[in-house]
Amino acid sequence: MTIKEKIQLLREELNQHNYNYYVLDNATISDYDFDIKLKELEKLEEENPAFFDPNSPTKRVGGGITKNFDTIVHKNRMYSLDNSYSKEDLLDWEKRIQKNLGTEAIEYTCELKYDGASINLTYENGEFVRAVTRGDGFQGDEVTSNIRTIRSIPLSVKKDFVSNFEMRGEIILPLEGFQKMNNERIANGEEAYRNPRNTASGSLKLQDSSEVAKRPLDCLLYQVVTDERKYASHFEILTASREVGFKIPTTIKLAKSIDEVLDFVKEWDAKRHDLPYETDGVVVKVNSLQHQEELGYTSKSPRWAIAYKFKAEQVATLLNEITYQVGRTGAITPVANLTPVHLAGTVVKRASLHNADQIEKLDIRINDTVLVEKGGEIIPKIVAVDVSRRAKDSQPTIYATHCPECNTELVRNEGDAKHYCPNEFGCFPQITGKIQHYIGRKAMNIDGLGSETVELLHKEGLIENYADLYELKVEQITPLERMAEKSAQNMIEGIEKSKQIPFEKVLFALGIRFVGETVAKKLAKHFKSIDNLMNADLETLVAVDEIGDRIAQSIIDFSKNEHNIILIHKLKTYGVQLEVSKESLENLTNKLANTIFVVSGVFYQMSRNELKKAIEDNGGKVSSSISKKTNYIVAGDNMGPSKLTKAESLNIPIITEQDFIDMIR
């Protein structure tokens, strides 16, 4: 046997033992014998560097240092899930699914919703190459070195699985391992970690991967993303994933009806506390991958999946004070300051009271004993008051009349639940909030500049708005607290780089009220430049798809404000992209203007997403359901029979993939 063959044999043997122990929970070798074989492999690899492999079992122990975690754009966006909290919510979701698909016979998969840190694992030719955190769904931090240390994640998979794919899952810290870690910390006189979820998430950003290797992290996987069409259903591809080495929980169930889904929810609501890890609900998915493609996505979530959240844990505590926060739009949010209390693994000190109506509805008063829960087990909120424990001299809460930051009298517009501070350009949190929004990841994504630094720069009189960022100099920043020359240089480089950010993101960054990411994209695509947008009247604006009166009026108010006009002029002079680039315009046409398409079936020359993008790039609109307004059905293989029947009954033209390509050529 050659040295190369011996190294390969040891790697395969150790990988199998890792799989047996960490995935199957069925050790077939002692820890001592495993360590002996691992040391033998380490020695052979050290003596024969020509046979280096980044996915060798010897790399599981870590040792690499990562000073900065690179930001990586996801090839396929990681969407969030819509939440449901009742049987009625699930039944309503099913009705929407049936209406979109035009069929009642739908299979579902039921999976427990794991409470950890979302991760995206990329495999090329069966080899693990990259791990990226969810981040904001569009981009995240690369944590490959740390993920290699988690032994339940295979570093290579058998060739009979799909070759290029992304595997998505949740990095968790099992309860037993979490307790063991805390026992050791307490014994060493250190403070215990608060909860498994935050500890797991924090572990991924440790700079020393050998420290990550010491933590008993695990990875539960729940989705394969691939362009290969080898498997027909979600359940089938997950079953195949388990067979090639991935840790797919055995709790997953195939449900033939929504009644079976509800049975699964009921069963695990009772049994969840017996699990070795934390879970806060059930994820229900349409099983057919073709159906998933047909249903598609909203701007935030897949239509083919929904999360059912178990009833949140509640605790009673004392409300000591009500304070008021000011957001970047001037919106006032009342906050309950509580006697600290443990809730769902964290210590809760504050809870949102939402608005004046909510305070009045629950009759919330200072010194009340209140019932607190985590909304979706994330954001604490007050759900009730224990009136029986209220003091006799208790007085109703009088809502704030003036801004807590600048003392300007608050206003409340008719039909609006919130109060606002109208001092938009003179109120500290509004000034800094707008700049913080501008520099954010989803907006201008300026590296080297954070929220605290924005506040410091404003306090020092260096910036009054986001346009002022482009006038900053290294020598102005370096003398500031906690600022070194390298940090200042990185900040200036990040600001300069933001001038290349495309118009649609700049438009979102401007912070126009009600103009979120999706709306900004539609407006940028329609108007092509900030000048066209700011010169548009109400009628022109509401004529744009999905732009209503409220958004249109907000844009007009922004455009007429003298302060904003000056800001936009400054941004233009600094070279910020305030119009769609020539390169982007080259690929856009109006060939399909005022034409609505429904895309259904399996395609081969273009992916479904590429086809939809081509429709939109040529001025058309994609709809998820067939109606009298539909102009064409682009039909691929295995088009749903009910959709075919409906299209024929409405006399809607059905065209092939090639017909569509010829149409836009």
Domains and CATH numbers, the chain: 3-61 (1.10.287.610), 83-309 (3.30.470.30), 314-389 (2.40.50.140), 428-500 (1.10.150.20), 503-586 (1.10.150.20), 596-664 (3.40.50.10190)
Residue 55 has pLDDT above 80, yes or no: no
Q: What is the pTM of this model?
A: 0.73
- Of the two residues 159 and 172, the one the predictor is more confident about is 172
Is pLDDT larger for residue 16 or for residue 62? 16
- Compute the average pLDDT of residues 356-361: 94
Q: Counting beta carbons within 10 angstroms of the beta carbon of residue 502, is it exposed (0 to 12), middle (13 to 18) or buried (19 or more)?
A: middle
Higher pLDDT, 395 or 62: 395
Collapsing DSSP to helix, strand or coil, 634 comes out as: strand
Here the tokens at position 456 are 């410091």
| Whether pLDDT at 584 is above 80 | no
599-639: per-residue pLDDT in tens? 988 788 888 778 988 998 898 888 877 889 999 999 988 77
CA 399 to CA 333: how far, in whole Å?
Answer: 11
- CA end-to-end distance (rounded Å), the chain: 59
**pLDDT of 593 over the 90 cut:** no
Each as own residue / partner, the long-range contacts of residues 534-539 (CB below 8 Å, 24 or more positions apart, any chain) are 534/558, 534/559, 534/565, 534/568, 535/559
Instruction: Name the burial class of residue 421, with classes exposed (0-12), middle (13-18) and buried (19+) by CB atoms within 10 angstroms of its CB.
Output: buried
Question: Which tops the pLDDT comparison, 373 or 284?
Answer: 284
Tens digit of each residue's pLDDT (9 = 90 or more) over 291-322: 898 888 887 899 999 999 888 788 999 999 99
Mean pLDDT of the chain: 89
Residues 423 and 406 sit within 8 Å (Cβ to Cβ): yes
Positions annotated as catalytic residues are: 113
pLDDT of residue 376: 53
Query: Cα–Cα distance between 619 and 621 in angstroms, integer?
Result: 7
Given a cut of 70, whether residue 85 has pLDDT beyond it is yes
What was the pLDDT predicted at 422?
Answer: 95
Q: How many Å separate Cα 399 from the centre of its chain?
A: 35
- Distance of alpha carbon 358 from alpha carbon 336, whole angstroms: 12
Q: Which of 434, 436, 400, 438 is nearest to 420 (CA)?
A: 400
Identify the top-confidence range among 114-118, 461-465, 612-616: 461-465
Query: pLDDT tens digit string along 375-425?
Result: 654 678 899 999 999 999 999 999 999 999 999 999 998 878 899 999 999
Tens digits of residue pLDDT in 497-555: 999 999 999 999 999 999 998 899 889 988 999 999 999 999 999 988 779 999 999 99
Length of the chain (residues): 665
Of the candidate ranges 66-75, 146-155, 201-210, 351-360, the one whose mean pLDDT is the lowest: 66-75
Burial of 83 (0-12, 13-18, 19+ CB in 10 A): middle
pLDDT of 94 over the 80 cut: yes
Tally helices (H) and strands (E) across the chain. Answer: 25, 20
